[in-house]
Amino acid sequence: MARDLDFRVRRSVVKPLVQSAPVKVAPPNPKKTGSNTLLWTVLVLLLVAAGIGIWQFSVSTAPSVSSVKTPVTTKESLPPATTAPTKVDSSILSPQSSSPLVQIYDSGAGSTAVDSLVDKLKALGYKVDNLDKSQFNYDRTYIRYRAGMQSEAEKIQSTMPERLVSLKEVVSAGLFDILILYGVK
């Protein structure tokens, strides 16, 4: 059997060999380094530029008010325009002044039916452009017209009483006033 004395630990005080002076911790340096100064300078300049940009945008969109009374310029006081639109431009700019341009696609009706419609519309005074075969065949006839051309589109629809016709106003960049997709029915 083991005795309790064998397992006792002797405690002894260990003294340091050399005594050193206490270590002093220096406070953080408040002076900025070169890269930090440059970063802050760039940030301040960007904020100033953004402020100036916002200010100029708000000034340009707001109506200007001045304390000095200046004469108001109206359209009547401006000299008239000296250039007149050419013949091609006038038909594009104001289609109501001349006969509307009607473009026709054969969308399943057949070339003879399209040719007879072209002849009818030319007899009524329309400028007609036959664009031949369409990419698709439709079960009805579709008439697409620009703003202000609804009455003309309805006149064209009345020339086709046997057809099922769908009218719709479109906003288009094409050169047509009225587009007809001449379908099967």
- Tokens matching residue 121: 């519309």
Residue 58 lies in a domain: no
Residue 145 lies in a domain: yes
Q: CA 25 to CA 28: how far, in whole Å?
A: 9
Residue 162 lies in a domain: yes
Residue 110 lies in a domain: yes
Number of structural domains found in the chain: 1
Q: CA 120 to CA 129: how far, in whole Å?
A: 13
Q: Determine if the pTM surpasses 0.85.
A: no
C-alpha closest to that of 174 among 130, 144, 153, 136:
144
Q: Longest C-alpha distance within the chain, in Å?
A: 134
pLDDT tens series, the chain, 185 aa:
555 555 666 677 777 666 666 667 666 665 656 678 889 999 999 999 999 988 887 776 655 555 555 555 544 554 555 554 444 444 443 344 578 899 999 999 898 999 999 999 999 999 999 888 888 889 999 999 988 889 999 999 998 888 889 898 888 767 888 889 899 88
Instruction: Please report the pLDDT score of residue 68 as a whole number.
Output: 52
By the 8 A CB rule, do 136 and 105 touch? no
Structural domain that includes position 166: 96-182
- The alpha carbon dihedral of 149, 152, 153, 154 has a sign of positive
Residue 62 lies in a domain: no
Is 47 strand, coil or helix? Answer: helix
Question: Position 35: which residue type?
Answer: S
State the CATH number of the domain containing residue 152.
3.30.70.2390
- Tokens matching residue 85: 């639109």
Residue 124 lies in a domain: yes
Residue 126 lies in a domain: yes
Beta strand 141-145 with 165-169: parallel, antiparallel or unpaired? parallel
Question: Position 156: which residue type?
Answer: I
Residue 177 lies in a domain: yes
Q: CA 128 to CA 153: how far, in whole Å?
A: 13
